[in-house]
Structure 1
Amino acid sequence: MKFAYKFSNLLGAFYRHGNLCFSKDGNSVISPVGNRISIFDLKNNKSETLPVSTTKNISCLGISPDGNLAILIDEGMEKSIILHKKKKLHHHHFHSPVHSVSFSPDGKKFVITKENVPLMYHAPERNREFNAFALDKSYYGPFDETTCIDWTDDSKCFAVGSKDMTTWIFGAERWANLIYYSLGGHKDIIVGCFFEKDSLDMYTVSQEGTLCVWESDTELEGLQEEGEEDKDDDDVEKIIGEDGETRGDVIKGSADTPKQVEGIKNVRYSQRSKHYFNKAGDFNKLTAAAFHKKTHILVTGFASGAFHLHELPEFDLIHSLSISDQRISTIAMNPTGDWIGFGCSGLGQLLVWEWQSESYVFKQQGHFNNMNSLAYSPDGQYLVTGGDDGGLCFVAFTEHSSSVTNVAFTSSGFVVVSASLDGTVRAFDLHRYRNFRTMTSGELVCAGSQDSFEIFLWSMQTGRLLEVLSGHEGPVSNLCFSPVQSVLASVSWDKIVRLWDMLDSWQTKETLRLTSDGLAVTYRPDGQELAVASLDGEITFWNPQTGGQTGSISGRHDLQMGRKETVKITAKQSAKGKGQGQPKLLSALSSEACTSDGMGLHKCMWHGQLPEIRLFRPENDALEFLDRRKMTEFGSLSLVDEGIGDGDGVELSLPGVKRGDMSSRRYKPEIRVSSLCFSPTGRSWAAASTEGLLIYSLDASLVFDPYDLDMDVMPASIRQQVKKKEWASAILLSFRLNEMPLIREVLEAVPYDQITVVCSSLPDVYVDKLLNFVASTLEKSNHLQFYLSWAQCLLTLHGQKLKNRSGAVLPTVQQLLKSIQRHSDDLSKLCDWNIYNIRYAAALSKQRGVKRTAAESLSDEEEEVAMDSGGDEENIIVEN
Structure 2
Amino acid sequence: MNFRFHNLLGAPYRGGNAVITNNTQLVSPVGNRVSVTDLVKSQTITLPVQSSSNISRIAVSPDGTFLLTVDEKNRCLFVNLRRRVVLHRISFKKPVNVVKFSPDGSFIAVGAGKLLQIWRSPGFRKEYFPFELVRTFADFDGKITALDWSPDSNYLIVGSKDLTARLFCLRKLNGSVKYKPFLFLGHRDSVVGAFFGVDKKTNKLCKAYTITRDCYIFSWTFRGDEGDAINIDEDGSEPLSPGTPDRDAEENMEIDGSGNMKKRKHYDSKDAELLEEGLYLHRGKWELLRKDNFMQAPAKITAGDYHRELDMVVIGFSNGVFGLYQMPDFVCIHLLSISREKITTAVFNELGNWLTFGCARLGQLLVWEWRSESYILKQQGHYFDVNCLAYSPDSQLLATGADDNKVKVWTASSGFCFVTFSEHTNAVTALHFMASSNCLLSASLDGTVRAWDLFRYRNFRTFTTPSSRQFVSLAADQSGEVICAGTLDSFEIFVWSMRTGRLLDVLSGHEGPVHGLMFSPTNAVLASSSWDKTVRLWDVFDGKGAVETFTHTHDVLTVVYRPDGRQLACSTLDGQIHFWDPIDGLLMYTIEGRRDIAGGRLMTDRRSAVNSSSGKCFTTLCYAADGNYILAGGSSRYICMYDVADQVLLRRFQITHNLSLDGVLDVLNSKNMTEAGPLDLIDDDNSDLEEGVDKQTSGKIGDNLPGSMPNNGRPVIRTKCLRIAPTGRSFVAATTEGVLVYSVDESFIFDPTDLDIDVTPEAVEEALSERQPTRAMILSLRLNEDSFIKKCIFAVSPADIPAVATSIPYQYLQRLIEALADLLENCPHVEFILRWCQEICKSHGNSIQQNSRNLLPSLKSLQKGITRIHQDLANTCSSNEYMLRYLCTSSAKQ
SS of residue in 2 equivalent to 1:807: helix
8 Å CA contact 1:403–1:421 kept in 2: the answer is yes
Give the corresponding residue for 1:64: 61
Q: Report SS of the residue matched to 1:489.
A: strand
1:319 has 2:327 as partner = no
Alignment-derived partner of residue 273 in structure 1? 289
Asked whether 1:807 is paired with 2:857, we answer yes
The Cα offsets for residues 813-864 of structure 1, whole Å up to 9 and x where unpaired, read as 6357547755875786588568767999xx9xxxxxxxxxxxxxxxxxxxxx
Q: Does 1:586 align with 2:621?
A: yes
TM-score, scaled relative to structure 2: 0.78
Counterpart of 2:267? 261
* 1:563-602 equivalences in 2 (<5 Å): 563-570=601-608, 577-578=612-613, 580-589=615-624, 590-598=627-635, 600-602=636-638
Paired residue secondary structure (2:864): helix
Paired AA for residue 135 in structure 2: K
Instruction: Give the distance between the partners of 2:208 and 2:792, measured in 1 at CA.
Output: 53
SS at match of 2:367: strand
Q: Which residue of 2 aligns with 1:81?
A: 78
Correspondence for 1:426 among 450, 454, 457: 450
Structure 1: runs of 5 or more not aligned: 236-252, 652-663, 779-783, 844-876
Q: Give the secondary-structure state (helix, strand or coil) at the position aligned to 1:504.
A: coil
CA contact (8 A) 2:215 2:294 kept: yes
Task: Name the residue aligned to 1:210.
Answer: 216
Aligned to 2:30: 33
Is 1:212–1:271's contact at 8 Å kept on the other side of the alignment? no
Quote the offset at 1:732 in angstroms. Answer: 12
Contact 1:37 1:50 in 2 (8 A): yes
User: Superposed, which structure 2 residues align to 1:8-23 within 5 Å?
Assistant: 8-23=6-21
Matches within 5 A, 1:200-349: 200=205, 201-217=207-223, 261-262=267-268, 266-271=282-287, 273-279=289-295, 282-349=297-364
Shift of 1:340: 1.0
**In the alignment, what sits opposite 1:863?**
none
Q: Quick one: structure 1 residues 721 and 462, their matched pair in 2 at CA, closer, same or farther if it must change by over 3 Å? A: closer
Q: Distance in 2 between matches of 1:755 and 1:496?
A: 58
The 8 Å contact of residues 516 and 528 in structure 2, kept in 1 or not, is answered as yes
Tell me which amino acid in the other structure corresponds to 1:16.
R
Matched with 2:258 is none
Q: 175-184 vs 621-630, which deviates more?
A: 175-184
Instruction: Work out which of the residue numbers 118, 122, 125 in structure 1 matches 2:123.
Output: 125
Note closer, same or farther for the CA distance 1:61–1:630 as it changes in structure 2 (3 Å cut): closer
Name which of 489, 505, 512 aligns with 1:474: 512
Partner SS for 1:299: strand
Pair 738,81 (structure 1): closer, same or farther in 2 beyond 3 Å: farther
- Check conservation: 1:450, 1:475, Cα contact below 8 A: yes
Match of 2:537?
499
Residues 468 and 743 of structure 1: is their aligned pair in 2 closer, same or farther, counting only changes over 3 Å? closer
- Quick one: distance in 2 between partners of 1:612 and 1:706? 21
CA gap 1:485/1:706 in 2 versus in 1, 3 angstroms: closer
In the alignment, the residues of structure 2 paired with residue 680 and residue 86 of structure 1 have an alpha-carbon distance, to the nearest angstrom, of 29
Rate the CA distance shift 1:647–1:153 in 2: closer, same or farther, 3 A: farther
> Aligned-pair distance for 1:214?
1.8
Tell me which of 89, 92, 95 is aligned to 1:91.
Answer: 89
Distance between the aligned counterparts of 2:19 and 2:844, measured in 1? 42
The residue matched to 2:690 in structure 1 has which SS?
Answer: coil
Paired residue type of 2:653 = F
Mapped to 2, the partners of 1:110 and 1:723 lie a distance apart of: 55
What residue identity is the alignment partner of 2:575? G
Residue in structure 2 matched with residue 385 of structure 1 by the alignment? 400
Letter in 1 for 2:59: G
- State the secondary structure of the residue aligned to 1:528: coil
Query: 2:439·2:452 contact (CA, 8 Å) conserved in 1?
Result: yes
Equivalent residue for 1:199? 204
Alpha-carbon displacement from aligned partner over 1:230-257 (angstroms, at most 9, x marks no partner): 696999xxxxxxxxxxxxxxxxx96769
Q: Distance in 2 between matches of 1:221 and 1:535?
A: 82
- What is the CA deviation profile of residues 389-417 of structure 1, one whole-angstrom value per residue up to 9, with x for unaligned ones? 22224322121112222111111111111
Residue matched to 2:706: none
Give the secondary structure class of the aligned counterpart of 2:34: strand
Aligned residues of 1:186 and 1:206 also touching (Cα < 8 A) = yes
- SS of residue in 1 equivalent to 2:56: strand
Is the contact made by 1:643 and 1:666 (CA closer than 8 Å) also made in structure 2? no
Contact 1:500 1:507 in 2 (8 A): yes
1:516–1:355 Cα change, 3 Å: same
SS in 2 for 1:685: strand
- Closer, same or farther in 2 for the Cα pair 1:277/1:812, shift >3 Å? farther
Instruction: Please name the residue that 1:645 is paired with.
Output: 687
Cα deviation 1:259-318 (Å, max 9, x = unaligned) = 963577753244353243344x65511111112223222110101010111111111111
In 2: Cα distance, 1:254 partner to 1:209 partner: 28
Partner of 1:5: 3
Q: Per-residue displacement from partner, 1:643-670 (whole Å, max 9, x unpaired)?
A: 662461799xxxxxxxxxxxx9975321
Please give the alpha-carbon distance, in whole angstroms, between the structure 2 residues aligned to 1:411 and 1:526: 16
SS of the aligned residue for 1:808 comes to helix
Q: In structure 1, what is the Cα distance between the partners aligned to 2:138 and 2:537?
A: 75
Aligned to 1:139: 137
The 1:208–1:582 alpha-carbon spacing in structure 2 relative to 1, beyond 3 Å, is same
> Partner residue of 1:867?
none
Q: More displaced, 631-640 or 580-589?
A: 631-640
Does residue 499 of structure 2 align to residue 445 of structure 1?
no
Matched to 2:582, the amino acid is P
Q: Aligned to 2:420, what secondary structure does the other structure show?
A: coil
Preserved contact between residue 563 and residue 570 of structure 1 (Cα < 8 Å):
yes
How far did residue 187 of structure 1 move? Answer: 1.6
Find the aligned partners of 2:598 and 2:749 in 1 and give their Cα distance. Answer: 39
Q: How large is the Cα RMSD of the aligned pairs? A: 4.6
Aligned to 1:683: 729
Q: Distance in 2 between matches of 1:667 and 1:471?
A: 39
Q: Does 1:109 align with 2:107?
A: yes
How far residue 635 of structure 1 moved from its aligned partner, in angstroms, is 4.8
1:774 and 1:501 mapped to 2: Cα distance?
Answer: 43
- Deviation of 1:564 after TM superposition, in Å, equals 2.9
The answer for the alignment partner of 1:240 in structure 2 is none
**Is the Cα contact below 8 Å between 1:217 and 1:267 reproduced in 2?**
no
- Post-superposition Cα deviations, 1:206-242, rounded to whole Å, max 9, x if no partner, equal 1111111222246999999x9999696999xxxxxxx
| Amino acid aligned to 1:276 | D
SS in 1 for 2:187: coil
Deviation per CA, 1:47-86, whole angstroms, max 9, x where unpaired?
Answer: 2111001001111111112212111111111111222111
Contact 1:644-1:650 at 8 Å conserved across structures: no
**Residue type at the aligned position of 2:284:** R
Q: Tell me the distance in 1 between the aligned counterparts of 2:337 and 2:606.
A: 49
- Please tell me the residue identity of whatever aligns with 1:70: L
CA distance, structure 2, for counterparts of residue 819 and residue 290 of structure 1 = 42
Instruction: Give unpaired runs (5+ residues) of structure 2.
Output: 248-264, 409-417, 463-475, 694-709, 849-854
User: Percent sequence identity over matched residues?
Assistant: 35
Is 1:606 the counterpart of 2:603? The answer is no
Distance in 2, matches of 1:255 and 1:444, equals 85
The equivalent of 2:186 in structure 1 is 185
Question: Does the CA contact (< 8 Å) of 1:568 and 1:626 recur in 2?
Answer: no
- The residue type paired with residue 37 of structure 1 is V
Contact 1:9/1:694, CA 8 A, preserved across alignment: yes
> SS of the residue aligned with 1:584?
strand
Counterpart position of 1:360: 375
Closer, same or farther in 2 for the Cα pair 1:714/1:421, shift >3 Å?
A: closer
Task: Flag the 1:141–1:289 CA change in 2: closer, same or farther, 3 A.
Answer: same
The 1:152–1:754 alpha-carbon spacing in structure 2 relative to 1, beyond 3 Å, is farther
Give, in angstroms, the shift of residue 640 of structure 1.
3.4
